[in-house]
Structure 1
Amino acid sequence: MRFRERCSLLGIIAAAAAVGLGTAAPAQAAPAGDVQPYIVGGTRAAQGEFPWMVRLSMGCGGAMYTPQIVLTAAHCVSRTGPNTGITATVGTVDLNSGGTRVRSTYVHRSPTYNTSTGGDWALVKLASPVSGVPTLPIATTTAYNSGTFDIAGWGAAREGGAQQRYLLKAKVPFVDDATCASPGGIYNDLIPRAELCAGNMASGGVDTCQGDSGGPMFRRDGSGNWIQVGITSWGRGCARPNAPGVYTEVSTFASAIADAARRI
């Protein structure tokens, strides 16, 4: 693995058990009251604020691409094919209360993932459409690939921390490719045509973290509507200075995503 992907070990263990992919020692859950009001450096989202947000049972996030398909990260799933082992929770900010839960039927994993072309995206088809929940359109051009972005997820509120019960949100500024790659190390692997960077380079403090993988990075378009520009993918630790978050550049893969969605 060339980078530290932002997935949840606890979620992967649960998903593996559900689909018979193997066993692992159980992880210790966080105390019920251990809920912090930030993603990393953010605040709690209000019910209905981002209604297209999805929590997947393998420990990743996602967004409703169509009423029956969730867009997430390729590194959150193992392969393309039938899959009934994932449960999507939609329509709630509190994972312990409310919302709709639907099982998966099929997964499409980007065939270019982990290649020099990049492509950390995947689609999860649900057993039935989710009614009453809006979808999140994806960017088809680079017009919105800069500025200030919004991020959200149920991942850890600090590096190495517990997954969160409540949906958390934050804002992160765009970081250009040259600046993103300047710290070196794993950032030498940045694929400029396929990935976007965002975060506070000098100070850190705000970021996605483990368990936020697959969730959307989004902003308002020219008409004031939400549009997805990125998918939470990887980074060095969480919210460290000179270690921005790296996101799949959705506009690069918009046509491939649309084609795959029509086929599954």
Structure 2
Amino acid sequence: HHKQDRRARMHEDFNYLDKKESECFSRLEATDVVQAFHSPGFPVKYPAKSRCQWQIRAPENHAISLRFTQFHVEDDCSNDFVSIYDSLSPDSSQAITEKCGQRPPSNPLQVVSSSNILLVNLITDSSTQRPGFRAEYSLIPISTPKSCGGLLTNVQGEFSSPHHPSFYPPALDCKWTIQVAAGQKVRVKFNMFRMKEPGVDVRECHKDYVEVMGRKYCGELSSLSLTSPTNTMDISFHSDESYTDKGFIATYNAFNPKDPCPGLFACAVGICIAKDLKCDGWNDCGDMSDEMDCKCEKEQFACDNGMCKPNYWVCDRVNDCGDDSDEKQCSCGDNEWRCGDGTCVPQDVVCDTRKDCEDGSDEASCKVCTFTCKDKSCVNKVNAECDRVADCSDESDETNCDCGIRPYKLNRIVGGQNAELGEWPWQVSLHFKTRGHTCGASIISDRWLLSAAHCFKTISPENHMASSWQTYSGMQDQTKQAGVERRGLKTIVSHPDYNPMSYDYDIALLELSEPLTFSNTIHPVCLPAPSHVFPAGLPCWVTGWGTLREGGNGGAGTLLQKAEVKIINDTVCNVVTEGQVTSRMLCSGFLSGGVDACQGDSGGPLVCFEESGKWFQSGIVSWGEGCARRNKPGVYTRVTKLRDWIRTTTGV
């Protein structure tokens, strides 16, 4: 209702606008030449309470292509937003999209009209003003069913929704027919699929969809692979009159059904994977067909249902086996309370005056303090800091919380392991002398970085000299310096108890020669309180430029890499590392095989996303066995155990 009221109010505002006098109303004519317009006040800030409108027309039988080269509107779409219509009036049935927030250059907003008219609206309230936008427009040939789709007869190829990666146009139907030689079959893999619309049931797909073999697909899919029963396959694409998205890009190939994957393992869904991925505990096929009928290796756990899983997934509170057999004989976790009868309840129900354990043991001895406020008072709440709720009477749990956010709006599912620009704004590259990237670090304030002691405490005394190092913040590509801030080091403080044999206390603090200026691509990560809990099973991310292959012969990567990992139960971690883990360390294992924290990523951050919308650094890349080994965990310095030392040393 709120949205409908706002639409009606907006409509009235425009009707009452004296359009001739308003600097906020423009009629634009699209031509072959790219032209530009921008929001009022750009690039400083747009005015409060703006109601702006740009009507764009093109000659008959042409469409309009619109691309926002810069886009920065307040983050909350209920206050400020840009809406784009496939018409000349703000009619919600003709809305193409509505956007707010800040978009990086790697993810620009691009839309295409279905006919020769387009409308752009900017609505702002009175509170927060941002720079606004700059947009470019030009005319292009109109999209018709004749101009998209078609017959594809090559052995392999690629096709995509019209104008990908721009938003596809509204009101369009396309059909591709893939036809390969008799006796062969067709395999199609969608490498990117985004057809999200407000209020659409993704089981029915009654608005925009792709239809293959009688089934409709819509929404956002991280992977979709389909195989035809014959030598032809039809793919239909439909967009209705309102709301569009980025669409899809897909590859196809012909294969011989008698030998569908020469030299590889054939999944039941029709995709091919390397043979060594079969029976390794990871669902590479997507339908578990590579994990059936397996004999478990020694570093694997044998599930009751016959599947094999990595040993370190046991007792992480995730039902990895599917029958819960990996979670049956587990002790309670860090943020759980064990009742007298052995059942586990969440830590924050202890001492809440309600009996959660059958025997009442959770209320028996109630002096629990999970977070200590600045005034020394106690809060019994897991992860109270920076969760946007003031739990301390002095509000000290919500101070110093301008951290752990990404200024740029990014796609939720980003393909591949290359990081996007601004995706990890706290990541730093440390260059040693003239040897280039050597270690990673993270930004914890404008003057201090966090890294690993083993990068500096080496046989060579030069490694511990501040003058030997240069730091690069805001970097994504090692070959590009635009927007990157370079700083020297003033001091290196390695932990006095660091042990080069065991890697215990593997932590170092780096003071910069001059402070950083925070920006869209340079921003500090949040540091967790000593009591902060990162439970086993929590998915987190590790980032760095380290070598791309084990042994280092691949050389350091030029593009920042990322890998999703999950926190491993401490007891299990100690077993799989054969007792080499101290309480200052934590383990994590890979959620998708192939990419790992590698040499050269040392000192880089392991970060976890909290429900409050902030990223906290749980670990520092310390050591591990080899690279990208699926059943060997990575070991990290545990930040919570050293949080007090960080504060004492830096004041952060």
Normalising by structure 2, report the TM-score: 0.32
Aligned residue identity for 2:480: S
Match of 1:247 in 2: 636
1:261–1:145 distance in 2 versus 1, CA, 3 Å: farther
Secondary structure of 1:84's match? Answer: helix
Q: 1:117, CA displacement in angstroms?
A: 9.7
Equivalences for residues 105-254 of structure 1 within 5 A: 105-114=490-499, 118-132=504-518, 133-140=522-529, 141-146=531-536, 147-160=538-551, 161-184=554-577, 187-191=578-582, 193-200=583-590, 205-254=594-643
- Kept in 1: contact 2:534–2:567 (CA 8 A): no
> C-alpha displacement at 1:200, in angstroms?
3.7
Structure 2, gaps ≥5 residues long: 1-414, 433-437
Higher relative contact order (CA 8 A, sep 6+): 1
Q: 2:421 aligns to what SS in structure 1?
A: coil
Indicate conservation of the 8 Å contact 1:117/1:194, yes or no. no
| 2:54 is the counterpart of 1:54 | no
Residue 76 of structure 1 is matched in structure 2 by 455
Q: Which residue of 2 is the match for residue 18 of structure 1? A: none
Shift of 1:204: 5.2
Gaps of 5+ in 1: 1-40
Q: Tell me which amino acid in the other structure corresponds to 2:421.
A: Q
Shift, 1:195, TM fit: 0.8
Distance 2:651 2:572 in 1: 37
Q: Is the 8 A contact 1:64 1:135 kept in 2?
A: yes
Q: Distance in 1 between matches of 2:503 and 2:546?
A: 27
How many residues align structurally?
219
> What is the CA–CA distance in structure 2 between the aligned matches of 1:81 and 1:247, rounded to whole Å?
21
Residues 75 and 120, structure 1, Cα contact 8 Å, conserved in 2: yes
Displacement of 1:92: 1.7
User: How far apart, in 2, do the equivalents of 1:256 and 1:145 lie?
Assistant: 23
Q: Do the aligned partners of 1:102 and 1:128 also contact (CA within 8 Å) in 2? A: yes
What SS does structure 2 have at the residue aligned with 1:253? helix
Per the alignment, residue 67 of structure 1 pairs with: 446
**What is the CA–CA distance in structure 1 between the aligned matches of 2:431 and 2:625, rounded to whole Å?**
24
What's the CA shift string for 1:98-137, capped at 9, x where partnerless? 2111111110001121188931110111110010231111
SS of alignment partner, residue 198 of structure 1: strand
Q: Is the 8 A contact 1:55 1:61 kept in 2?
A: yes
- Letter of the 2:584 partner, please give it: A
1:15-26 → structure 2 map (5 Å cutoff): none
Q: State the alpha-carbon separation in 1 of the partners of residues 465 and 626 from structure 2.
A: 33
Could you say which structure has the larger radius of gyration? Answer: 2
Q: Is the 8 A contact 1:149 1:174 kept in 2?
A: yes
- Aligned partner of 2:290 in structure 1 is none
1:93-108 equivalence runs, <5 A: 93-98=476-481, 99-108=484-493
Distance, in Å, in 2 between the alignment partners of 1:42 and 1:259 is: 40
Could you say what secondary structure the match of 2:444 adopts?
strand
Q: Could you tell me whether the CA contact under 8 Å between 2:453 and 2:494 is conserved in 1?
A: yes
Amino acid at match of 1:127: S
SS of alignment partner, residue 66 of structure 1: coil
CA apart distance, 1:154: 0.5
Q: Secondary structure at the match of 1:189?
A: coil
Give the % identical residues.
36
Q: Is the 8 A contact 1:82 1:105 kept in 2?
A: no
Q: Residue deviations 1:29-71, cap 9 Å, x none?
A: xxxxxxxxxxxx9611111111111000130001011111110
Larger helix percent: 1
Contact kept in structure 2, 1:119 and 1:248, CA below 8 Å: yes
